[in-house]
Homo-oligomer: A and B are copies of this chain.
Amino acid sequence: VNPAIVTLTTDFGLRDSFVGTMKGVLLSRCPGVQIVDICHDVPPQDVRRGAMRLAAAARYFPTGTVHLAVVDPGVGSLRRAIALHVGGHYFVGPDNGLLSLAAPMTAADWSGIALTRPEYWLPIVSNTFHGRDVFAPVAAFLAGGGALGELGEPLTKIRSLALEDPVRLGDSLHGKVIDVDRFGNLITNVKASDLLGFGVDRIRIGEHVISGLSVSYDASRALVALLDSDGHLEIAVPGGSAARDLQLAIDTPVEVFSRADPSRGG
């Protein structure tokens, strides 16, 4: 039988000992557990981007994986601590939207618990590090085969992030940049599903106009738009960095024009 898996997604970075401490708690409470880092460099306190990281990676893990996520500006306040079970995966973290993209309430088999039973936590709980004191012990309990229902009271609702969808105005889609990856690629909120049957003619971002979608980072072009590996429209400078070379950042508007748009003069 293979070891249980716990993934970690946090904004703790790797220069302090927060992540190492959580791993110690996991290994102490669930000997042999396999710990896998998804990402610890979520920008500090950025719940939205933490939620995006978790949602992008979690679905590639095997059934039974426990996903422990901590981006928690409200630690020590009245925000709830929760554990969810969706699609055969467990999710543990604060109820601030962080889990809501990976484990949306709209999922058919969604179930959740408010973590209200301190007997499953560390004996002493700080007001500043629930990753260590609450979430890691709970994740270890679930990884060891414990039952979700024991951990607290059933939930009917969690805080969910409302990611802005692009707006369609006639024959154009108005979206924006929602993330920038390590390569400087600009990730937009325009999804492949938004473009089904749309017939992309050109994309405008800042002062730049890109004609049509490329199928890859086409090195013969200075600037390309393509669908990225997660199904989002992405703007890239092949061999360079769109963010740096174009001096563009998160929240920059992006417009997609369809071939039917009369202003193209076609």
Residues of A participating in the B interface, judged by any CB pair closer than 8 Å: 2-3, 5, 7, 9, 11-21, 23-25, 27-28, 31-32, 34-42, 44-45, 52-54, 56-62, 65, 73-77, 126-129, 132-133, 181-184, 215-217, 219, 226, 228-229, 234, 239, 241
Contact = CB atoms under 8 A, between A and B. Distances in A.
18 contacts: A11-B182, A15-B42, A16-B182, A17-B52, A18-B182, A21-B56, A23-B61, A24-B57, A24-B59, A24-B65, A28-B61, A44-B183, A73-B239, A75-B217, A76-B215, A126-B229, A127-B217, A133-B229
- Secondary structure type dominating chain A contacts: loop
A-B residue pairs, 10 tightest by C-beta: A76-B216, A24-B60, A20-B38, A129-B229, A20-B57, A15-B41, A127-B216, A13-B182, A24-B61, A17-B57
Contacts of A7: 20, 24
A41 B27 contact: no
Given A44-B182, A76-B217, A31 B2 contact: yes
Contacts of A17: 38-39, 52-54, 56-57
Contacts of A129: 228-229
Given A217-B75, A229-B128, A39 B15 contact: yes
B31 A27 contact: no
Contacts of A59: 24
A52 to B, nearest CB: 8
Nearest to A231: B126
Nearest to A59: B24
Nearest to A179: B16
Contacts of A57: 17, 20-21, 23-24
A136 to B, nearest CB: 9
Given A17-B38, A21-B56, A229-B132, A3 B32 contact: yes
B16 A20 contact: no
Given A18-B182, A24-B61, A77-B217, 11 more contacts: A15-B39, A16-B39, A17-B57, A24-B58, A27-B62, A35-B36, A44-B182, A44-B241, A45-B239, A75-B216, A128-B226
A16 B181 contact: yes
- Among A13, A42, A241, max chain B CB count under 10 A is at A13
